[in-house]
């Protein structure tokens, strides 16, 4: 029997909680959880797994510090950036670094839905707005 959206979300949340080990997603647990959902909730399995995937993506986004830079940054500087954000948000973070030459110089840091833009491109855009505003 097909489950309601509310029930699917509840099952997906339980599945998500069961895939965590000490606040980290244990990838080894996921295949057995997926198999269990497919067997127990055949008609709703796809909807449940879609909700589960949304939860995992949201969680990963909240745990990953994305640093976009116009050029290579030395490792000690990246570590300092990471430690600063870990201290500020009182949690351990993963870090992903992307090279974006269009930033001209500087960097952008994104955590979850918040972005800090320290790029020259951003400063130029702000000046354009101030002049034309």
What residues make up the domain containing 123?
Answer: 62-132
Same structural domain, 51 and 74: no
What digits encode the pLDDT tens for the residues 25-65? 999 999 999 999 999 999 999 999 999 999 999 999 999 99
Please identify, among 61, 79, 97, the residue that sits at the C-terminal boundary of a domain. Answer: 61
Q: How far apart (Å, rounded) are the C-alpha atoms in residues 38 and 113?
A: 32
- The number of helix segments (H) and strand segments (E) in the chain equals 5, 6
Please identify, among 42, 61, 80, the residue that sits at the C-terminal boundary of a domain. Answer: 61
Same structural domain, 80 and 48: no
Q: How many domains would you assign to the chain?
A: 2
Question: What's the pTM?
Answer: 0.73
């Amino acid at each position: 029997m097909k489950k309601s959206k509310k029930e699917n979300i509840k099952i997906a949340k339980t599945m998500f909680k069961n895939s965590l080990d000490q606040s980290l997603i244990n990838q080894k647990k996921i295949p057995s959880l997926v198999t269990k959902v497919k067997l127990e909730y055949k008609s709703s399995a796809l909807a449940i797994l879609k909700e589960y995937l949304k939860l995992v993506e949201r969680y990963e986004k909240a745990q990953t510090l994305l640093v976009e830079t116009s050029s290579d940054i030395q490792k000690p500087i990246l570590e300092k950036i990471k430690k600063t954000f870990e201290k500020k948000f009182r949690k351990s973070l993963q870090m992903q670094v992307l090279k974006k030459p269009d930033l001209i110089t500087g960097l952008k840091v994104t955590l979850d839905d918040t972005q800090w833009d320290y790029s020259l491109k951003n400063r130029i855009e702000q000046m354009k707005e101030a002049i034309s505003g």
